[in-house]
Structures are given as structure tokens and as C-alpha cells.
Chains A and B, each alone.
Chain A
Amino acid sequence: MTETEKKMKRYINAVERRLNLPREIKARVMSDFLSAISARREAGLTDEEILRELGSPKAAAAELNEQMKDFAYRKSPWRFAFLALAVVSGLCLLSYYLIFWYVSDSIPLNGSVGIIGGADGPTSIFVATPIGVNWDQVLPSIFLVVGLLGFFLLRRLRPKKQP
């Protein structure tokens, strides 16, 4: 591969990276974009001239994103509800652990019931927890995962079919 071919390949990749489109639409746009480059080569333009005509990767991609708006991912406003859920459950978990650490640090280690061997505070309490599910932690964890998942999925909704 020559230096100019490498440069063109880098340029094409840079444009593709910046396209905010569903995968199959992106593939479609890129096939036409490549076609546009070969057509210009056949018309006798040098790679330098082609690159100048198409503009910087950023400008070319911005132009394509703008033109392909009807085909782009839709973002649902509901995603913020899911983000809020994730943040709240994240904070819940965090505060739970902070309190947990604080309390376990303040428990005197000598002679406490339920502490196995010379284990440190948190571990010993984990061991002492009755077998079963600790919903205080599991529930916020589930909400955190659901919240984050929902947030990211709702940012990439299929475009509405044109009538």
C-alpha cells in the first residue's frame, strides 16, 4: 500500500467513526462514500484533490450526519428517567457501603460475637449475615443495571419509518 492509499484509508475510517447512524445505514452511506471516491479517481482527480473536495473527516461526517437525520438513531426523552433511576440506586449502594464501612470500623474487634478468626470488619460481617439474599444490596444493584441499560438503549431507538 502506498502512502496516499494509506492516507485515504485513514481518512475513510475517520469519517466512518464519526457517523452517528445505525449499523446498516452506516454501511450503506460508507459504500456510497467509497463509490464517490472511486468515481472521482476515474474522473481523473488525484487523491489530494479528492480529499480537498470532500473536506476534513469531521466536516464530511457532520455533513453526512446532518443529511441522514431521518435515518439516524432517535433519542427518547424517557432515557433521563432511567438515568435518574441509575443515579439514585447508585447513590443508595454507595451510601450503604459508606455507612457499612463506618459502622464496621467502629465495632471493637475484641470479643465481638459472630466474628470468625481474625477477619477484618466487613468480611466478618459478610460471614455473619444469615444465608439468603440481602435485598438491601441486590435491589439497588438491579435498579442500577436496569437504569443504565435503559438509558443507553433509549439513546439508540430505530428511526421512525417514513410514511
Chain B
Amino acid sequence: MENRFDREMKKGVLEMLVLNLICARPTYGYELLSRLRDGSGGSFDLKEGTLYPILYRLEDDGLITASWFPGAGKTTPKKIYQATQAGHRENLRRQEVWGAFTDTVTKLLTGGNTL
């Protein structure tokens, strides 16, 4: 069972990762889940429902848009998410924020150890 700290931390990071994956190429929920799981070596193994609030928030903020894509063969259509211009810009900005943030945190953590 994950504890509260791990969960809260993951939540913020997840939104950044999902936006980044969608910016890389238009995709759908199931594919996002498997890319997160495989890319993280299994430590980001999410349920579909966890993804929805993140996707809706990104969509409501105008960073991504959803459209229907006809399914292959006789399957039903799928909902594909793709990043908007603003989404691509925001993705870059978030990664800068993340880079600066982790640098500071790492510095503080290691600094604290040597003191």
C-alpha cells in the first residue's frame, strides 16, 4: 500500500508526464497507461480512472483537445487526445520548472546530509 506522501507527490508529476506523452504524439487513454507503465519499469501502474481527472483538467485548460478516431476493423471509435499550441508551450515551461525544482530540492537534501 502506498502512503500519502508518495501518492500526493505522484499526482502532480503525473499531470506533467501525461502532457509530455501527449505532446510527443496524439494518443488515447489505454496507450498512455501502457506507456507510463512500461516507461517507468512498472512503478507507474495506473488504473484508467486515475487518468480521467488529469485529462479533463488538461482539456479544460485548453492544453489538449479530444477527437474521435475511427477504430480499426469492426471495433468502435476511440477518443484520441492531442496537444494544442498552448499545450506544447506549457509542456516546455513545466519541464523547466521541474528541472529548476529538482535541482533545488536535490541541493537542499544533499546539503542537509553533509551539514
Contact = CB atoms under 8 A, between A and B. Distances in A.
Interface string B43-77: 00001111011011100100000000001110111
Contacts of A37: 76
A67 B49 contact: yes
Interface string B72-95: 110111110000000000000000
B49 A66 contact: yes
Contacts of A70: 53
Contact of A67 (B31, B50, B73, B78): B50
B47 A63 contact: yes
B57 A39 contact: no
B76 to A, nearest CB: 4
Interface stretch (A26-34, A89-97, A100-108): A26-34
25 contacts: A25-B56, A32-B29, A33-B48, A35-B28, A35-B30, A36-B29, A37-B76, A38-B71, A38-B75, A39-B28, A39-B29, A39-B78, A40-B30, A41-B71, A42-B72, A42-B75, A43-B30, A63-B47, A64-B49, A66-B49, A67-B50, A67-B52, A67-B53, A71-B56, A162-B60
Interface of A: 25, 28-29, 31-43, 54, 60, 63-64, 66-68, 70-71, 162
